[in-house]
C-alpha cells in the first residue's frame, strides 16, 4: 500500500510547495507596496525606507518564477483543451517576462515608466490564464471547487484593480484621495514612478 500511495503524494507535494512559495512572496510584495506608498511622503524619515522599491522588485522575481512550476502542474492536471494550452504557454512567457523586467529595472537598464506599462500588460496575460484554468477546472470538475472559485475571483482582481488605479489618476498625485485608491488596489499606481537610480541605490544598501 505504501508503494501505491507515495508516488502520487510526491507528484502533488512539489507544485504545492511552489504554490506556497509563490503565495507567500505575493503577499509580501503587496505588503511592501502598501508600505512604500504609506511612507512616500514622510519627509526625512523616507531615507529609512529607501530599500523598499528594490525589495519589491526582488520579491516579485521570486513570486513569478515560483509560479511557473504551478502553471506546468495545472497544465498536466487539466484537460488538454486548446484554450488551456494557449493560456498556459502565454502565461509562462509572461511570468518569465515579469521576472526579467524586474531585473532590468533593478540594473537600471529599463526606466520605470516603460517597465510598469510592460508589467501591467503581462499581468493581464497571467490573469487571463488564471481565469482560463479556473473556469476549465470548475466546469470539468478536475480541480477542487474552493480552488476554482478563488481562482475566478483572483483572475478578475487585476483588471478591476487596473480600473481602480486608473480612476485614482484623476486626482492629484500623492493626495489622500489617490492614496485611498492605492489601498483599494493594494498596489502602486502608474503615477508613482521609482527611478532606476533609486532602485540601484536601495538594492546595494
pLDDT at 193: 37
Q: Which helix (H) or strand (E) holds 22?
A: helix 2-38
Q: In this predicted structure, what is the pLDDT of residue 198?
A: 45
Which pLDDT does position 197 carry in this prediction? 42
Q: How many CB atoms lie within 10 A of CB 84?
A: 20
pLDDT of residue 201: 44
Helix (H, G, I), strand (E, B) or coil at 159: helix
Tell me the mean pLDDT per 10 residues along the chain, length 205. Answer: 40 75 93 89 86 94 96 92 95 97 94 89 92 92 89 83 69 62 48 42 42
Pick the closest to residue 192 from 97, 53, 75, 86 (CA basis).
53
- What nine digits make up the cell of 90? 502565454
Amino acid at each position: 500500500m505504501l508503494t501505491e500511495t507515495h508516488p502520487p503524494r510526491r507528484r502533488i507535494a512539489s507544485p504545492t510547495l511552489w504554490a506556497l512559495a509563490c503565495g507567500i512572496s505575493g503577499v509580501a510584495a503587496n505588503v511592501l507596496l502598501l508600505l512604500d506608498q504609506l511612507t512616500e511622503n514622510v519627509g526625512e524619515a523616507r531615507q529609512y525606507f529607501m530599500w523598499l522599491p528594490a525589495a519589491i522588485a526582488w520579491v516579485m522575481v521570486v513570486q513569478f518564477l515560483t509560479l511557473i512550476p504551478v502553471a506546468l502542474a495545472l497544465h498536466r492536471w487539466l484537460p488538454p483543451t486548446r484554450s488551456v494550452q494557449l493560456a498556459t504557454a502565454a502565461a509562462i512567457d509572461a511570468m518569465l517576462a515579469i521576472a526579467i523586467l524586474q531585473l532590468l529595472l533593478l540594473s537600471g537598464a529599463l526606466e520605470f515608466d516603460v517597465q510598469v506599462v510592460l508589467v501591467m500588460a503581462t499581468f493581464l496575460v497571467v490573469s487571463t490564464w488564471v481565469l482560463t484554468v479556473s473556469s476549465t477546472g470548475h466546469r470539468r470538475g478536475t480541480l477542487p471547487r474552493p480552488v476554482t472559485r478563488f481562482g475566478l475571483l483572483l483572475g478578475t482582481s487585476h483588471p478591476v484593480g487596473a480600473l481602480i488605479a486608473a480612476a485614482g489618476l484623476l486626482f492629484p498625485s500623492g493626495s489622500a484621495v489617490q492614496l485611498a485608491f492605492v489601498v483599494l488596489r493594494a498596489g502602486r499606481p502608474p503615477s508613482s514612478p521609482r527611478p532606476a537610480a533609486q532602485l540601484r541605490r536601495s538594492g546595494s544598501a
